[in-house]
Homo-oligomer: A and B are copies of this chain.
């Protein structure tokens, strides 16, 4: 095992749509479906599928509330999801920043 081992990259985050959506949730704290859709550029169907996959892994949660009398649904990272995403980011950084790699010389 070494820093270039692809199996150390969390496959759950390593889809373009899931990475984009998770980054947004990580930085902004929460977002509703339409905001996620607008920001990531994903279609309804794709986004739904990817969010569900992360929800099933308990990486994100759906929070339902009311804004006045109007129901409001938003997505948030769970603690588990936040920690896993930070681990994923560190793994990416190790891969793309050469000075952090060790034992990678031929």
Contact = CB atoms under 8 A, between A and B. Distances in A.
Interface of A: 1-2, 4-7, 9, 11, 14-17, 19-21, 23-24, 26-28, 30-31, 35, 39-42, 89, 92-93, 95-96, 98, 101, 104-106
Contact of A19 (B2, B95, B106): B95
B92 A31 contact: no
A9 B5 contact: no
B20 A95 contact: yes
12 contacts: A4-B21, A4-B24, A4-B39, A4-B41, A5-B39, A6-B20, A6-B41, A7-B16, A11-B16, A20-B95, A27-B104, A89-B96
